[in-house]
Amino acid sequence: MKFNFVDFFNRQKTQDYFKKIIKHLTNSKNITPAKKHIFFAMKNFDFDNLKVIIIGQDPYPGKDVADGLCFSSNEQKTPASLMNIFKEIKNSYPKCSFKSNNLYYWKDQGVLLLNSILTNEIGKTLAHKNIGWEIFTLNLLSELNQTYSQIIYLVLGNYAKNFIKNLDLNNQIIFSTSHPSPLGVHAGFSGSKIFEKINKKLQELNKIPIDWSTQ
């Protein structure tokens, strides 16, 4: 494997910014997702099969909703943003089925579902902004960009657009639209056929397209 997340993580945890993250988490209550899921997006991910990176903001603030993958959830009730994602997929793939709200199947196919901020607090939004996670995720993405080319980035909303401005993306492929939240869905996301466009690009690159269903 060209990129090894464990090696990357071991290098990060010795740095001052990461020690500050750990200190902040130690002093925080009601952290979401559960600590065992904080790095789930990268756990056992086959980086040599990395096809798509979806950039999220921070974990869902509801109790037991976030599972470590951006937009994904183990809850039976579908979060509003994910509901709009499913609707947009259906626009392109009417036969696509969504048997659950977790996006593990996407991860298995080479989709890295990465929040720029990996933790939050229940009932809050951006509670852990600027505690250091942005440095961690930018370092991660920078190393991935140095290791692989022709990664497809799906950038949803202004927050994600501003976040990736700090990256060298000259050798990557960018798809961008509005955020799928109820506030942003009609500003470009709805009707964008964005998931179909990603699959067409993957086919052009002689890569297997993503089955956007869930299991």
The reply to whether 211 belongs to the active site is no
The contacts found for 134-138 with CB under 8 angstroms, 24 or more apart, are 134/163, 135/17, 136/12, 136/17, 136/18, 136/21, 138/163, 138/166, 138/167
Give the active site residue among 16, 46, 48, 58: 58
Token pair of 152 as six digits: 């497809």
Q: What are phi and psi of 120, to 5 degrees?
A: -150, 180
Of the candidates 207, 142, 131, the one whose C-alpha atom is nearest the C-alpha of residue 168 is 142
CB-CB contact of 71 with 113 (8 Å): yes
Active site residues: 58
